[in-house]
Amino acid sequence: MMKTIFPGQTIGIIGGGQLGRMMALAAKEAGFKIAVLEPTMDSPCGQVADIRIVAPYNDQTALEELAEVSDVITFEFENIDYEGLKQLTEIAYVPQGAELIKITQDRIQEKSAISESGCPVANYVACQNFNELVKNIEKVGYPCIVKTARGGYDGKGQQTIHSSSELELAGPLFEHSACVAEAFVPFIKEVSVIVQRNKQGETYCLPIGENIHVNHILHETIVPARIEEKTAVLAIEAAERIADYLQLIGTLAVEMFVLEDGTILINELAPRPHNSGHYSIEACNISQFHQHIRAICGWPLRKPKLWSPSVMVNILGQHVMPVTNSLLKYPDWSIHLYGKQQAKKNRKMGHVTIMTDDLDHTIREIEDSAIWAE
C-alpha cells in the first residue's frame, strides 16, 4: 500500500524524544498535524504535538488510538515492541514497516543483513550464552568487544576484553540477551552516513559526518568528514546498498569505521534520524527531518547540498548552564534545546551547530572552550 500524505493530514509519531520533536517541527512547517504516543506527559515531542496519547509503547489500545487519528505513522527510536508495531501495520499506514525495526533491534540480525547486502563488517561471532563465547572467542581473538545483541546505547551493554583472563567480565551481559563478540577494529575515524529513501526508491545521502565521542557519547560531528575522496565514495555506496537491500522508506543512519588504508567497515545501523545529522537543520538545503517527512509522505526528495562546513556539538546536562551563560558571546551559534525538564549529567539536552569558513579553527575553539570541559 502506497499513499501520498498532504498538508493538513496527521502524522503519528511513536516516541516523544528530541528526534520526534525535531521531526514534528519540520512537519508542522509544511502544515501537517502531529500526534505522538509517549509514556511521559511532558515529552519534548509532546510539547509541540497537536494530539498527545500518554501510554506505554506496547499498549495495544493506545496504538489503535494512534492509528485512528493518524494518516501516516513513523517512529523516532528503534526500541519499539516489534509485535505491537507489526499489528499496527495491519490497521494503519506505516510505510517504514516493522521488519526494519526487527533487524536493527538485534545486532546479530543486523550484522547478518549488512553482510548479505554486500557490505563489510568486523569479524564477529554470535553467542547465545557465555559457554558459547568461551568456545568461540578464538575466532575473533583479543582484544575484542562483547556486546548484547539487544538493547544498549551510548556505550551501555558492552564490555571490552583484552585477554582470556578478562573473559568473565562479559558474563553478566548474557543476563540481558545473546551477545556478539567483535574483533577490535584499529580504526582512525568514525563516520556516519544518513541515507534517506522514499517509496519510489529515490535515494539521497546527507554529507558525511565525522563523529567524535567522549565517554561513549557523541560529542561532536564535523562536516564534511575529514576523509579521502575514495573513502567518501565507499561510504556513500555502502549506505545506498544497505538502503536498497532493506527496501528502506524513511531514514537510516549508517555508522562506519574508517581504517588506515581508507577502507570502511560498517559498525551499526539506526532506522531513524540520527544525532550526527542534526547539523543539517542549518547547514544544508534540506534537513534530515524535513527529508524524513518527505520520504514517509511519498513526496519527491530533495538532493542535499551543504551550505558551509559545520560542527555540531551536543549539549549534555552539565553543559546547559555554561552554554546558556555564553549565549551572548557567540552570535553565530545555532542553539537547540529540547525542552527536557531535568538536566542530568551526560543526558542529551540539546545541541549547537556552528557554520564556519575555517573548520580547523572552529574545532580548536570548541576543544579549548571551558563550556565542554566536563
154 and 78 inside one domain: no
Is residue 374 very low, low, confident or very high in pLDDT (cuts 50, 70, 90)?
confident
Instruction: For 328-368, write each residue's pLDDT tens digit.
Output: 999 999 999 999 999 999 999 999 999 999 999 999 999 99
199 and 294 inside one domain: yes
**Of the candidates 263, 241, 243, the residue with the CA atom closest to the CA atom of residue 251:** 243
355 and 260 inside one domain: yes
Percent of the chain with pLDDT over 90: 93
CATH code assigned at 304: 3.30.470.20
What pLDDT sits at residue 34? 98
What pLDDT sits at residue 157? 86
What pLDDT sits at residue 137? 95
Contact 195, 238 (CB under 8 A): no
45 and 173 inside one domain: no
Percent of the chain with pLDDT over 70: 99
What pLDDT sits at residue 155? 59
174 and 214 inside one domain: no
Average pLDDT over residues 62-79: 96
> Domain tally for the chain?
3
Report which residue type is found at 81.
D
- Which of 43-47, 78-82, 283-287 is predicted with the least confidence, judged by mean pLDDT? 78-82
Instruction: For 194-243, write each residue's pLDDT tens digit.
Output: 999 999 999 999 999 999 999 989 999 999 999 999 999 999 999 999 99
299 and 368 inside one domain: yes
How long is the chain?
A: 374
Structural domain boundaries, residue 237? 189-372
Strand partners, 41: none
Maximum distance among all Cα pairs of the chain, rounded to whole angstroms: 61
CATH code assigned at 157: 3.30.1490.20
270 and 197 inside one domain: yes
368 and 256 inside one domain: yes
Report which residue type is found at 31.
G
Q: Distance between CA 36 and CA 16 in Å, rounded?
A: 6
Q: Is residue 111 part of a domain?
A: no
Q: Distance between CA 218 and CA 255 in Å, rounded?
A: 12
- 334-360 CB burial, b ≥16 within 10 A, e <16: bebbbebeebeebbbbbbbbbbbeebe
Contact 137, 180 (CB under 8 A): no
Q: Distance between CA 373 and CA 319 in Å, rounded?
A: 9
Is residue 156 very low, low, confident or very high in pLDDT (cuts 50, 70, 90)?
confident
Handedness of CA 85, 86, 92, 97 (dihedral sign): positive
Please report, for residues 13, 17, 328, 371, the alpha-carbon distance to residue 324 in angstroms, rounded to integers and kept in the order given.
30, 21, 9, 10
CATH code assigned at 26: 3.40.50.20
179 and 200 inside one domain: no
Give CA 319 to chain center in angstroms.
22
**Of the candidates 79, 77, 102, the residue with the CA atom closest to the CA atom of residue 89:** 102
200 and 234 inside one domain: yes
Q: Distance between CA 339 and CA 342 in Å, rounded?
A: 9
Instruction: For 100-116, write each residue's pLDDT tens digit.
Output: 999 999 999 999 999 99
Is residue 153 very low, low, confident or very high in pLDDT (cuts 50, 70, 90)?
low
246 and 360 inside one domain: yes
355 and 227 inside one domain: yes
Give CA 22 to chain center in angstroms.
13
**Residue 207: DSSP 8-state:** P
